[in-house]
Structure formats: structure tokens, C-alpha cells
Structure 1
């Protein structure tokens, strides 16, 4: 049931006695991975975002010093993925439903006596949902610290391993995601079906972009016929292991910072 997560760090394996008697609960770091079940082109499975979050978190918790108390909640596999719903297999929650789930999980974690909750989101279509839910939880419980982090935003070397074009324009199912999936779930990757596709270029001098300071609303089919936005054909397992090690190292540092955050 724990998957990539070390058993000793898997919250559901604790008993209620373990939780009731846990020391220094206000500084224990509880991490809620949030993924998605959505299309990732013809070469990758629907589980990519959920798998990457669990894989990175599991590797980070393996590396984390045993003196730092941190536990992973079960993955929330479904996310707000309606930008992909024109592609069969995508399962999406509404913004309201995902927000309600996050809020109720947070309320229960608070009721158990914990005061540090990380929302570890691995899907690029829902950081804003995590941020708003985190703010609402903190407003409701002002001693609950909530950290809405995007899995890929911790310090890591991923962009150094990509071509300049991929680093700038790759958004979905490209080199980075495909490489890390080759490391985590190689049997589920069909490299023979991998194709490169980038979004249409904006007019010269335009300030607008799908993702950036001045974005426009889009669905995936506006940008891609295949569901790929990037170039997965250059992905390798070796690159995937480098990415996994680097991103998980970043998460070790982030968890340490959260553990120390606000401690007197």
C-alpha cells in the first residue's frame, strides 16, 4: 500500500495510539502528495503526475535524517485536469471538489494535533487551487502552517539536462517527465510512440504566452494534437535518475526547513 514511500514514513501505517502519543506534534511535517490522472501523450500512462510526486517524495523520505519527523499521507490521485479532458482517460475533479478535499484533509490533520501540512502538488494545472486552499486553511486555523509547494520548484538541476528549447517551451509529457518515468516506471513508458510537439509560436514581440507573466486560458488541444507539449524523444533513464536524485535532494532541504520553521 505504501508504494514508493518508506513504510516507517507512511502515515496510514500508524495507529491512533502512535498519533496520540507522538511527541512535538506541532513540528511534525505531514505531507499530502497531490497528483492527477490525465493524458500524457501516446507514450506515457495517465498516472504520470501522481507517480512522480510519490516517487520523489519516497526518495526524499529515504534520505531524510531519521531525527526529523515527517510522514506522507496517501496520494490524492485525482486533480483538476479539465484542460486535458478532450483526451480519453483523463479524470478530472472540479476546482470546488479538489478544494473541499484539501480543506477536509487539512481539518482532520489539525484535529489530530499536527500544525505543519505540506501540499506537494505535481500537476501544473492546479498550483492556484493548492495556494487558495492553503490560505483558507490558515485563515480558519491560524496556528496551522500550510505549505503549497509544486514538486518541481525545489532547487534541482533538471533544466540543465534539457535543450534550451525544451527548458523554455516544454510543458507536458516532454523530456523531463518522460525521463523520470523511465526511472520510476520504465515498463509503463512506450518510447516507440514518443513524438515531439510544441505549441504554436506567438507573433513576434507578443507579450502573451500559455504560461508566463501574461498568460491566456487554454486547453491542451489548443496547443497540441498529440497531448504532448515538448520533446520526449530525447528522454533517457539515466537522465531520469539524475532528475530524481536532484529533485528529491531539494525536497530533503525543503522538509528540513519546514521542520525548523517557527520553532523557538
Structure 2
């Protein structure tokens, strides 16, 4: 059941007295991986975002010393994926459904006595919901420390693994995701069917992402379901991504065990 997560850090394998003992620690951290089941072009499986969420998380957790109290909850495989409507295989939760689910998970964790919770998301269509859930839980419980993270955020400054165009325009099922999937589930990547596709230039300052975005559906931007170039992906790059992401998230998770909220003025 634990998949890419170290078995010793997978909370469902614990007994309730073990969870009770964990919750008694002020520095204990629980991490909720969040992914999606949605189309990723002709070459990647529907579970790509869920695999990356758990794969990157596992790469980080394996780096922590055994006495560091950081543990993973079971992944949420379904997410808010309605931008991919019309592509078979995509399973969509509404924004309210996902938000309610995150909130109820948070309430459960808080009820045990755990005071540090991470939402660890790898689907680009739902970071805003992680932000809202984390803030609302914080507002309800003034001693609850909540952290809305995106799996790729610690690597945004590392551009040497991507072409300039991929850095600027790649958004979905492109080089980075395909490379990481080659490292995680290489037998499920159909490299011969990978195609590059970018949104057509529109001659406007309005863009799908960025400072002046417009609301879009995937079918507005691509026929294949790809927004980027997976043909430049490689197993070597995937291993390098996992090593980089795993090392940096391990540092972040260790920081969370020591974090204290700023004292009010």
C-alpha cells in the first residue's frame, strides 16, 4: 500500500496507540499527498500527478533520519481536474468537494493532537484550493500550523534541465513530468507516442498562466492533451529531478519540525 513512501513513515500502517504517541510530540508532522487522475497526453498514464506527488514525497522521506517525526497519510488520487473535461479517463472532483475533503482531513488530524500538517500537491490545477484549506484550518485553530505546498515549487529556479521554450511555455505532460515518470514508472511511459504541442501564439499580453491569465480548458490549448515537449525527456533527467526535489523537500520537512509561528505583536 505504501508505494513510493517508506513503510516506516506510512501512517496507515500504525496502530491507534502508536498514532497517539506520535501526536503527543510537539514536532510531529503529517503530510497529505494530493494528486489527480487525469489525461496526460498519449504517452503518460492518468495517474501521473498522483505518482509524482508520492514519488517526490518518498524521495524526500527516505533522506530523513529515523528519529525525525515526519509521516505520510494515504494519497488523495482524485483532484479538481475539470480543465481536462472532454478527455476520457479524467476523473473530476468539484472545487467544493476537494476543499471539504481537505478540511475534514485537517479536522481529523487536529483532533488527534497533531499540530503540523502539510498538503503536498502535484497537480497544477489546484494549488489555490490547498491555500484556502490551509488558511481556513489555521483560522479555525490558532495552534494549528498548516502548509500548502506544490511539489515542483522548490525547483523553479533550476532551469538547466529544460529548453528555454519549455521553461516559458511548458505546462502539462511535457519534459519535466515525463522525465520524472520515466524514473518512477518507466514501464508505463509510452515514449514512442510522445508529441510536442504548445499553445498557438495569440499576439496578446494575456496568457494561460502568469500575471495576466485567462481562464482556459485544456482543449482550448491542445489537441493531444500535451502542453509542452515530452520528446526531450530522459531517464537521466528524471533521476536528477527526483534527487534535486527529494533533497530540497527533505530540508523543508525538517524545517517544519522546528518551525514556530511568529508571536503576535
Counterpart of 1:192 in structure 2 is 192
Counterpart of 1:10 in structure 2 is 10
Structure 1: how far apart are the matches of 2:53 and 2:101?
Answer: 18
Rate the CA distance shift 1:144–1:23 in 2: closer, same or farther, 3 A: closer
Deviation at 1:6, TM superposition (A): 0.5
Deviation at 1:68, TM superposition (A): 1.3
Counterpart of 1:228 in structure 2 is 226
Counterpart of 1:255 in structure 2 is 253
Q: TM-score, normalised by structure 2?
A: 0.96
Deviation at 1:24, TM superposition (A): 4.8
Counterpart of 2:72 in structure 1 is 72
Q: TM-score, normalised by structure 1?
A: 0.96
1:29-44, aligned counterparts within 5 Å? 29-44=29-44
Deviation at 1:158, TM superposition (A): 4.8
CA contact under 8 A between 1:34 and 1:119: conserved in structure 2? yes
Please tell me whether residue 149 in structure 1 is matched to residue 149 in structure 2.
yes
Counterpart of 1:238 in structure 2 is 236
CA contact under 8 A between 1:46 and 1:89: conserved in structure 2? yes
Give the 4+ runs in structure 1 shifted more than 3 A: 155-158
Structure 2: how far apart are the matches of 1:155 and 1:259?
Answer: 22
1:79-94, aligned counterparts within 5 Å? 79-94=79-94
Indicate which of 196, 215, 219 corresponds to 2:217.
Answer: 219
Deviations 1:129-149 (A, max 9, x none): 110111111111111111000
Structure 1: how far apart are the matches of 2:178 and 2:35?
Answer: 16
Structure 1: how far apart are the matches of 2:4 and 2:41?
Answer: 24
Deviation at 1:156, TM superposition (A): 6.4
Structure 2: how far apart are the matches of 1:90 and 1:263?
Answer: 39
Rate the CA distance shift 1:217–1:156 in 2: closer, same or farther, 3 A: closer
Counterpart of 1:103 in structure 2 is 103
Structure 2: how far apart are the matches of 1:150 and 1:17?
Answer: 31
CA contact under 8 A between 1:157 and 1:246: conserved in structure 2? no
1:99-138, aligned counterparts within 5 Å? 99-138=99-138
Q: Which runs of 5+ in 1 are unaligned?
A: none
Deviations 1:72-116 (A, max 9, x none): 000000000000011000001000000010000000000011000
Deviation at 1:59, TM superposition (A): 1.1
CA contact under 8 A between 2:33 and 2:120: conserved in structure 1? yes
Give the total of aligned pairs: 262
Deviations 1:201-238 (A, max 9, x none): 131xx321100011100000000000000000011111
